[in-house]
Chains A and B, each alone.
Chain A
Amino acid sequence: MNNYYFTEEHNLFRESLRTFLHKEVMPNIDQWEEDQRIPRDVWKKMGDMGFLGLSYPSQYGGMELDFFYDVIFTEETSKMFSGGFTITQLVVQYMSSTYILKYGSEKLKAKYLPGIISGELISAVGISEPGAGSDVANIQTKAIREGEHYVVNGSKTFITNGVYGDFIVTVVKTDPSKGPAGVSLLVIDRNAEGVSATKLKKLGWHSSDTAELAFDNVKVPVENLVGEEGQGFYYLMGGLQLERLVGGVSAYSGCEAIMGYTLQYMSERSAFGRPINRFQVLRHRMAQLASEIEACKQFVLYCARLHNDGKYAVKECSMAKLLATELSDKTAYQCLQNFGGYGFMEEYKVARMFRDSRVGTIGGGTSEIMREIIAKMIIDDVSYEAASQPSSNGAVANGKSENGLSLDQILNGIQSKAADAKPLGKTLKFDFGNEQLFIDGTGEKNAVSKDNKEADCSVDVSFEDFVALTKGKLNPMNAVMSGKIKIKGDMGVAMKLQSLFG
């Protein structure tokens, strides 16, 4: 079968990971579920084997591999029939330490990343609070700066790895007066003075420790701030895309596992004198599910490709998480039905898959929140921009192009270029949606402003494509033909674009 994502090397990696998991993990899962805890040494072993930190930089011990290795890691660990096992390490690799990797200082990276890659450290991400889950902007935990420390007060809940983990990438308000702009990320050591945890009892994910955390005057060194103050919300927005994408991969992969397990059972169980896989209704139910799983998988892999190519795919990742986790619930429900009474017994893994699946549409942003995001993007044309790395100047303005320029930054250049070019004789407007550029070519020289006025010709274009136009990287005629720019009004003016930026 053709495969556009996985090479021979990927497949070899998958084989060796799978072998390891079947030897070291699968036989112990039942015990860990009962103990409600996963022993540390299994992570250490995985670290030793080079299975952790797959796409992390080599200077911290990572492998610097492409994202499809992470996809394989997620797929294979999700086929162990224990959501608790899977989530423990997915939180470490893709949902918490990633903030340190992307936005943290060199010092923070050197301190924490080697440990999570060797399997010695377990990290958590502390976003949700008893009073605020979906409504992240409304969190109350405060970190008030006092000299070289922040003093943290507040609480977090539903925190995976919050009981047995080593550190928590915590979402705090460093400036409670500012709303989302006062949100920051802080690395808090789990056993710092004033941090306490209560283990929560829950429906599924039994082998994972989920904590309610209390912070009582916890002193955290200023150097534990991830990136810049006030940028936490943007970092989260970015990080959550990865979390949701990985959640999508985990969900369809879990579906494949239950599916295979159920087909096996159906070939062995008999009723009315024949294997139950002869009953047409059950067969069609499986055919329908298999189709949905296959389509979902191809979609999530497509999103993974976007991610691997550096695209900030908010809409797609939200869709992937929404569809895959909902499908997981449906798959678990229907597969359990095909087991009859045995489906309800702990002897078969399908009971666990059923309860473990149920958190998929809640954690990492509920299905309703996914639909909110998607609806905003497709109905209200809201677009989300990736947070800039802290090394650039930090502020995330709307109307920024991929290469980080904003309209204000290039306005001067355009003004002088336009002034040098022959006057257009008419007025021309570039409309970027949230900002406009107005060129008045009726005078002696073309005059450029940011006014949003009626023009003889109006050009709808994304800011990015506009930048490409001005740099001569995008041919105006091609752009028109391919629909990248849309022209309303006097086409004649548009024909002069080339002379304007040539």
Chain B
Amino acid sequence: MSYYFNEDHQLFRSSLRDFLEKEVRPNVRQYEADGEIPRSLYHRFGEMGYLGLGFPEKYGGLNLDIWYSVVFIEELCRMNSGGLSAAIWAHPGLALTHILAEGNEKQKEKYLPSGILGKSIGCLAITEPFGGSDVQALRTTAIKDGDHYIVNGSKTFITNGVNSDYIVTAVKTAPENKMISMLIIERDRKGVSATKLDKLGWRASDTGEIAFDEVRVPVENLLGAEDAGFFYIMQHFVSERLGMALQGLAYSEYALEVTLKYVNERTAFGRKINRFQVLRHRIAQMASEIEMNKAFIYSLYQRYADGDYLVKEASMAKLLATQLNDKVATECLQMFGGYGFMEDYPMARMFRDARLGQIGGGTSEILCEIISKIMIDQVNYKTPINKNK
């Protein structure tokens, strides 16, 4: 029984699950070894309609309610590859989301239909080598020169940063400017180069460092208004953080599921290890925390769908669910004993992938900053552009 998912959502879930089990699960280890997912996978997802679930029909989307996207994220996480989820999700969830919200008709025509089909892939580049948390301090500049911007600077830790076709980039139109603007930069422009980074987890995604060297970008590539970028970013952080919260939750649920199975099969001292009270109580505690996070996150998706202002709550949800994922990954791995450390079992990958949760999309410390500013200093992050209202 669910207050949120109806019969149609459930049908979608089971068909999506079949698809993922058949076409994705067998290849996950290959993607992890390759350090990226193949283009053809985006195409398949596009063909199936999965990249345009919530997008308007006009651009080839399915215009479905938010719960389909929730199902999509949850099921994708069951593949137990943070890199896979990130690579898939960064495209519609970050890049296309910015374009849909702030893009003009021409930009939407150019990027949405092909993006939804999985033919062209985007990424979102905010973080720089000099600073990630302090977004307003970023240094990449886009100086106007006639009908072009000349872009100089670099971005790092960018998901899909190597293989994507275009980069939705946060820039400043003057070095001394405090305000941020968003610019779409095509990969094939002269002066754009990228290096793939080697990392602890999320191995199936190509996380890149991108350099811009005198890149000429037409002014028509500006996304939304000049200097309004920070507000756009803040606004989209809500859906991004809810998404990350949901991922933290979904991985935790999956970890518990596989662990319940394992402790029911493994024996020690002549009995199933699920007979040991300490393990049982640890499982009960985790299950409770998972249920709690779930009720919280679903309640926020409901409010999000209804257009509520959720900067504080989305930060709270991401904070808690990514902490939960770290804890669950650690404790579930423990219950697998030595097998927990082996790549043949699911917990090793989940353990290293989970570690990113508290860093990406705003660190836990930054989330606490936001929450305490709202709660203690009565700061209001509401902006006139809150389109959801």
Contact = CB atoms under 8 A, between A and B. Distances in A.
Interface in B140-174: none
A483 B320 CA distance: 30
Contact of B375 (A290, A302, A368, A370): A290
A379 B3 contact: no
A290 B316 contact: yes
A295 B320 contact: yes
A374 B292 contact: no
B297 to A, nearest CB: 8
Interface stretch (B208-216, B298-306, B351-359): B298-306
B371 interface: yes
A319 B320 contact: no
Contact of A298 (B7, B288, B299): B299
A286 B293 contact: no
Given A4-B302, A482-B11, 13 more contacts: A266-B376, A284-B372, A286-B376, A291-B317, A292-B320, A298-B299, A305-B3, A322-B288, A371-B281, A375-B283, A378-B287, A481-B10, A483-B10
B190 interface: no
Interface of A is mostly: helix
A271 interface: no
A371 B295 contact: no
29 contacts: A1-B308, A4-B302, A267-B376, A277-B376, A283-B368, A283-B372, A286-B372, A287-B319, A287-B369, A288-B319, A291-B317, A294-B296, A295-B292, A296-B292, A299-B295, A299-B296, A303-B295, A311-B1, A318-B288, A322-B285, A323-B289, A372-B280, A375-B280, A379-B264, A379-B283, A481-B14, A482-B7, A482-B11, A482-B14
Given A2-B303, A286-B376, A481-B11, A371 B285 contact: yes
Nearest to B302: A4
Contacts of A298: 295-296, 299
Interface in A427-443: none
Nearest to A380: B274
B223 to A, nearest CB: 30
A400 to B, nearest CB: 18
Contacts of A375: 280-281, 283-284
A379 B274 contact: yes
Interface in B365-387: 365, 367-369, 371-372, 375-376
Interface in A263-322: 263, 266-267, 277, 283-284, 286-288, 290-292, 294-296, 298-299, 301-303, 305, 311, 316, 318-319, 322
A257 to B, nearest CB: 15
A298 B289 CA distance: 12
B372 A295 contact: no
A197 to B, nearest CB: 35
Contacts, number: 114
In the A-B complex, list the 5 residue pairs whose CB atoms are closest, starting with the nearest. A291-B316, A374-B284, A287-B371, A371-B284, A295-B296
Contacts of B365: 284
Nearest to B375: A290
A307 B313 CA distance: 25
A478 interface: yes
B299 A4 contact: yes
B283 to A, nearest CB: 6
Contacts of B317: 291, 295
Interface of A: 1-2, 4, 263, 266-267, 277, 283-284, 286-288, 290-292, 294-296, 298-299, 301-303, 305, 311, 316, 318-319, 322-323, 368, 370-372, 374-375, 378-379, 478, 481-483
Contacts of B11: 481-482
B179 interface: no
A294 B263 CA distance: 32
Given A292-B320, A295-B296, A296-B292, A374 B3 contact: no
A185 B56 CA distance: 61
Nearest to A284: B368
Interface in B240-278: 260, 263-264, 274
A291 B320 contact: yes
A294 B376 CA distance: 16
B375 A286 contact: yes
Contacts of A294: 296, 313, 316
A302 B316 contact: no
Interface string B112-150: 000000000000000000000000000000000000000
Q: Which interface residue of B284, B293, B302, B375 has the most chain A CB atoms within 10 A?
A: B284
A262 to B, nearest CB: 11
B47 interface: no
Contact of A263 (B303, B371, B375): B375
A368 B281 CA distance: 8
B226 interface: no
A386 to B, nearest CB: 15
Given A291-B316, A295-B316, A379-B274, A319 B288 contact: yes
B291 interface: yes
A311 B3 CA distance: 13
Nearest to B3: A305
B389 to A, nearest CB: 12
A4 B368 CA distance: 26
Contacts of B280: 371-372, 375, 379
Contacts of B14: 481-483
Interface in B166-202: none
Nearest to B275: A379
A365 B319 CA distance: 30
A293 to B, nearest CB: 9
Contacts of B288: 318-319, 322-323, 374
A462 to B, nearest CB: 11
A241 B14 CA distance: 33
B134 to A, nearest CB: 15
Q: Which interface residue of A4, A286, A294, A311 has the most chain B CB atoms within 10 A?
A: A294
A1 B310 CA distance: 10
A283 B308 contact: no
A262 B368 CA distance: 17
B10 A374 contact: no
Contacts of B367: 287
B64 to A, nearest CB: 18
Nearest to B282: A371
